[in-house]
A and B are shown apart, each in its own frame.
Chain A
Amino acid sequence: MKKQLIISVGREYGSGGHEIAEKLAKHYGIQMLDHNLLDEIAAERNLDMKNLEGLDEKYKNPFSSRTVRGYSSSPEENLYLIQFDYLQKKAAAGESFVIVGRCSETILKSYEGLVSVFVLADMDKKIERIMRLYHLTQNLAVKKIREKDRKRKRYHDCFCKEKWGNARNYDLCVNSSRLGVDDTAAVLIDYIDKRQQIETK
């Protein structure tokens, strides 16, 4: 039987983490989950996607929500919990997949087949990438990167004990500026293969 492989990719905005995750999913021939996770959940439960949009990877506002006996009125927290349950169920069923962000390195920590990676990059490389991809000026790219990373950090740290991007929280933290997206993905494949070899022994 093929061993379960779950790759969790945390990423800074503009680091190419998402592209790296796609390459890993393609290489191992496993499902890639990012914002399409919501589509999957909505399809499985026959839900209206319109209702869930705008809540994905959003932090909970403490002033507009309240918790009573462990129940929260926060739509963001409830969506996080839905995703939590869904990922847990998928992992418990023995499925292999790549999951981008969504606190997955914490949610799936107990699974042996989990490889957690955090992709970061130098600011100048991130600006260059965002300017190129979204046709933005330098100032707007900087603004967008700061805003997105601030929100990702707030989302992660709102629901997880460990801090976003803290090396202790991941198996591997890698700066994609050094080798570029393709070679970084290649290094990660090498690492994952070695991990799988060790665990199979």
Chain B
Amino acid sequence: MIAQVFAAIIFIAMFAFIVTEIVERHVVSLICALLTLILVFGVGMHSMSAVVDTINLRSIFTVEFWYHSAKTAGSGSGINWETIAFVFGMMVMVEGMARVGFFRWLCMRIAKLVKYQIIPIFITFMVLSTILSMFIDSITVILFLAAVTIELSRLLKFHPVPMILPEIFCANLGGSATMCGDPPNIIIGTSLGYSFMDFVTNTGVIAGVSLIAVLIYFYLAFKKELLLETGTSVDYGSLPSPESIIMDKRGFLVSSVIFASAILLLVTHAQTGLTVSAIGLIIAAVTLMTSGKHALALLKKVDYKTILFFIGLFVVIGGLEQTGILEIMAGFIGRISGGNRMIMIAIIIWLSAVASAFVDNIPFATTMIPIIKSLSAAYGIDLSILAWTLAMGTDIGGSATPIGASANVVGIATASREGYVIKWGLYCKKMLPATVMVVLISMLMIIFRYL
């Protein structure tokens, strides 16, 4: 009982401190992790084995960390080292691509392909945001896309905000389509043993249908504002040629090959047996080996704070799991739904969406994984249905408010720093209806397809 009280207090305190940002979130999660080890496992449970299980270091030294001979779930409770290794590897690869100018080149190339016409740029950038976010983190996607959008808006004379907001939404939508698109999906996939293609054929299909709806919605919502200043003379000669953006031609080619290989490895990992952790580490190693003198700089640019945040978070959630609190919460959801699968899906998707609109979706999804496992076991509902429901709720819900997802924050900051300040009112007026629409589409598709 005392262990449960400690675990609950630590968890609530962690959320409170993350929200207030008094201390950086990785510091909060690491301190809370330490408190979990001491108070929950030590004082409350007197269990050294719980500490060892939660730190989970031994999982790194197993074959399953690198190679899955059959579809197996991840290492259970505690630190999910598979996620950590994959996130690290992708961060190194993305830094390598950014160094050579890959993302800026891609954006400018597409703008040139559509002859710098505003509405075609608007549509193609939304699609580009979705596709890139399927494979790399949405923060990087938005960082480059928003910067290029502002650059183009000055040259082509249009307001950038009506283009940046849909890009943000599509980055979150793209993230929901694959296992590696958004951190909750990586955690769901590695914890429950789903492959890249499992996500593509389930959440990917929902994201694809939603993208069509979103393209229509944002076109109708922003068409007028985007075309407000058309007719103003544009100096096309001042537009940078895409080729001039490439900083290092050899590096660019190498980065493109590495990126293509990463996609290929991820798409085929269920067949090859390579785990996402192995893919992440292989990609990181190849990127570093081919970066020569830039390797150290790339390593320094990796967002270690996020990695530390993940580590701390897994320990705190491990505390909740080991003390049985999450089973109690699962029982609560089960009772409210009366065991009805449709109601259970509705509760999970809307609860996840609303929670993710206000708090970090990573701790939320991590907390929910053991809950959906319990629900699946107790009510005989296929775990994968609940996993897709959780993924769509957490990934899409984050789009509703300026603080819901990392891509929103980065997109808003990039625009605001250039003077195009995006306030809550403006953001929610356009993004909330789109979020509700996509969550609704997701819920209906899940219900009709799986029940």
A75, B403: Cβ atoms under 8 Å?
Answer: no
Flag whether A134 is at the interface (Cβ < 8 A): no
B21, A73: Cβ atoms under 8 Å?
Answer: no
Flag whether B271 is at the interface (Cβ < 8 A): no
Contacts of B57 in A (CB 8 A): none
- Write out, one digit per residue, whether chain B residues 348-370 have a CB within 8 A of any chain A CB (1) or not (0): 00000000000000000000000
A67 to B18, CA, bound (A): 10
A71, B421: Cβ atoms under 8 Å?
Answer: no
Q: Counting chain A CB atoms within 10 Å of each CB, which of B403, B406, B416, B422 scores highest?
A: B416
A65, B402: Cβ atoms under 8 Å?
Answer: yes
A52 to B426, CA, bound (A): 13
How close is B21's CB to chain A, nearest CB, in angstroms?
6
B interface SS class = helix
Contacts of A52 in B (CB 8 A): 419, 421
Contacts of A65 in B (CB 8 A): 402-403
Flag whether B151 is at the interface (Cβ < 8 A): no
Contacts of B139 in A (CB 8 A): 68-69
How close is B329's CB to chain A, nearest CB, in angstroms?
25
B409, A72: Cβ atoms under 8 Å?
Answer: yes
A65 to B402, CA, bound (A): 7
B419, A82: Cβ atoms under 8 Å?
Answer: yes
> How many interface residues does A have (CB within 8 Å)?
23
How close is A182's CB to chain B, nearest CB, in angstroms?
38
B421, A73: Cβ atoms under 8 Å?
Answer: no
Flag whether A55 is at the interface (Cβ < 8 A): yes
A85 to B360, CA, bound (A): 30
Total A-B residue pairs with C-beta atoms closer than 8 Å? 66
Q: Which of A13-21, A39-47, A96-104, A120-128 contacts B (4 or more CB under 8 A)?
A: A39-47
Q: Given the interface contacts A63-B20, A67-B21, A67-B409, does A75 sit within 8 Å of B422 by beta carbon?
A: yes
B419, A45: Cβ atoms under 8 Å?
Answer: yes
A64, B403: Cβ atoms under 8 Å?
Answer: yes
Contacts of B303 in A (CB 8 A): 69
Least CB separation from B360: chain A residue: A66
How close is B196's CB to chain A, nearest CB, in angstroms?
25
Q: Counting chain B CB atoms within 10 Å of each CB, which of A41, A67, A71, A79 scores highest?
A: A71
B residues 417-446 near A (Cβ < 8 Å) are: 417-424
- Write out, one digit per residue, whether chain A residues 55-97 have a CB within 8 A of any chain B CB (1) or not (0): 1000000111111110111010011011000000000000000
Flag whether B10 is at the interface (Cβ < 8 A): no
A121 to B416, CA, bound (A): 36
Flag whether B299 is at the interface (Cβ < 8 A): no
Flag whether B19 is at the interface (Cβ < 8 A): yes
A75, B416: Cβ atoms under 8 Å?
Answer: yes
Flag whether B412 is at the interface (Cβ < 8 A): yes
Flag whether B30 is at the interface (Cβ < 8 A): no
How close is A81's CB to chain B, nearest CB, in angstroms?
6
Least CB separation from B410: chain A residue: A71
Flag whether B414 is at the interface (Cβ < 8 A): yes
Ordered by A's residue number, 7 sampled pairs between the chains whose C-beta atoms are within 8 Å are A41-B419, A62-B20, A62-B22, A66-B402, A69-B305, A73-B403, A78-B421
**The 4 nearest A-B residue pairs measured at CB:** A78-B416, A71-B413, A66-B403, A47-B419
Given A78-B412, A82-B417, 18 further pairs, Cβ under 8 A: A42-B419, A47-B419, A51-B419, A51-B420, A55-B421, A62-B20, A64-B403, A64-B424, A68-B409, A68-B410, A69-B410, A71-B414, A73-B402, A73-B408, A73-B409, A75-B416, A78-B417, A78-B421
